[in-house]
Chains A and B, each alone.
Chain A
Amino acid sequence: QKEVEQDPGPLSVPEGAIVSLNCTYSNSAFQYFMWYRQYSRKGPELLMYTYSSGNKEDGRFTAQVDKSSKYISLFIRDSQPSDSATYLCAIKGGGGNKLTFGTGTQLKVEL
């Protein structure tokens, strides 16, 4: 079993839809939870981070963590074609900067 599981998609939604992206993890030692966005042929771009259970909002994006269930989510409101990308959850635990990534969910927002 992988430490971080993420549905690879692809996920296709119409413009304006609310998108829900999810990951589950198995290691309780994980402390920081991040979401990255990766466009084709680019490096991952840090979208959001959180370190506690609950919600964190930034514009159209909301990151949610439930440590009791070991479940993290990213919601995108009013999705736009420019949101079409691969979304990766990443988790950091213990000391140092090692990130454990989910496999990524490929999202396409269609006009």
Chain B
Amino acid sequence: KAGVTQTPRYLIKTRGQQVTLSCSPISGHRSVSWYQQTPGQGLQFLFEYFSETQRNKGNFPGRFSGRQFSNSRSEMNVSTLELGDSALYLCASSPSRSSYEQYFGPGTRLTVT
């Protein structure tokens, strides 16, 4: 079974721009969660999507948004990029909202200059 895929793997953007990251979950998994990983803050929860609806949101500004499509693929968007948004963005997929299983993709490394 193919794992979680994320595109692109690397991205360099300039302050003020916006960016869209994509995640394809494991086949059959309906829940997709997004995390931001930085050396200073570690892994922090951004949001969770299930059945095309945002179910949970972390403590991030409104510049961070996402969506999920009917095939469970998900995208996250960051608008008006700031230097502090430089991070590894990880997507995790799970079969359901009650499962202990969450499998992570390789991440998208975003650098904001």
Contact = CB atoms under 8 A, between A and B. Distances in A.
Nearest to B91: A43
B111 to A, nearest CB: 14
Interface in A57-94: 88, 90, 92
Interface of B: 4, 31, 33, 35, 42-45, 48, 50, 55-56, 58, 90, 92, 94, 97-107
A97 B48 contact: yes
Interface in A1-49: 32, 34, 36, 42-46, 49
Q: What does DSSP make chain B's interface, helix, strand, loop or mixed?
A: strand
Nearest to B96: A97
Contacts of A34: 100, 102
**Band of interface residues on A:** 20 to 34
Given A44-B43, A46-B101, A98 B107 contact: no
Contacts of A101: 35, 42-44
B102 A46 contact: yes
A92 B31 CA distance: 15
A97 B99 CA distance: 8
